[in-house]
Chains A and B, each alone.
Chain A
Amino acid sequence: MSALHTISGSPSSGLLDSCLKLICPGDGILFIQDGVYYGCPPYLIDCVSKDNALFALREDLLARGVFSILAERIDPVGYGRFVELTVDYDKVISWS
């Protein structure tokens, strides 16, 4: 069963490392709140396999002024798509 992982802390939280211990091919990651800083330089998101789709919450990116520097691999999504993603994946695992 696939999972959507939500990450809500910045890179200094280490939450992505914890998430990567559990992540499986086909799972997705959605960065929310301060988690969106994972999607911006100088952080390199290369540690996540290409088998995992990456998303970041548009409102949180815009609020923090980092929408324009979001890594190309990461898909910015609004709350509408956030809700859809929780349905598309079989379960949600939150990292906070």
Chain B
Amino acid sequence: MTAYQFATEAVSQGHEIYRVFFYGDGVLNANSLSVAPQDEINLSEAWDEFLKNNGIDSVACVSSALVRGILDFDESTRHEMASVSLFKSTQIAGLGQLVDAALHSERLVSFG
């Protein structure tokens, strides 16, 4: 939630977000199959909307994602799984994308 609110505020102040990189349990924020209780915000949906509306590149760390069942179409097909669980606004890639983001950005802000 903190990361989402921070990112929203950064965009509203006119900052450019080079990339959102989900790692560890953070990849669950890109889970398209999560269902929130009726009276609570669905954080994955909020992220998906935010990323799409602002055209922000987003990556889920491959090693964190697969073990948690976060699969895009290719991974789901390759491993012969029943469904796809990753929002289309996020791609699966390696930690190189985190390093690339650190090199291309003025600031790296991480949330554990």
Contact = CB atoms under 8 A, between A and B. Distances in A.
Check A-B contact in the complex, CB < 8 A: yes
Interface string A24-35: 000000001100
Contacts of B107: 86-87, 91-92
B38 interface: no
Contacts of A95: 112
B15 A83 contact: yes
B53 interface: no
Interface residue tally on B, bucketed by range: 10 to 19
Contacts of A8: 2, 111-112
A92 B2 contact: no
Contacts of B5: 59, 79
Given A32-B2, A59-B5, A80 B13 contact: yes
Nearest to A90: B107
Interface string B1-40: 0100110111001010000000000000000000000000
Interface in A44-68: 57, 59-60
Given A8-B2, A32-B2, A83-B15, A94 B111 contact: yes
Given A79-B5, A94-B111, A96-B111, 15 more contacts: A6-B111, A32-B2, A57-B2, A59-B5, A60-B2, A79-B8, A80-B13, A82-B6, A83-B9, A83-B13, A83-B15, A84-B13, A87-B15, A91-B108, A92-B108
Interface of A: 6, 8, 32-33, 57, 59-60, 79-80, 82-84, 86-87, 91-92, 94-96
21 contacts: A6-B109, A8-B111, A8-B112, A32-B2, A59-B5, A79-B5, A79-B6, A79-B8, A79-B9, A80-B9, A83-B10, A84-B13, A86-B109, A87-B15, A91-B107, A92-B109, A94-B110, A94-B111, A94-B112, A95-B112, A96-B112
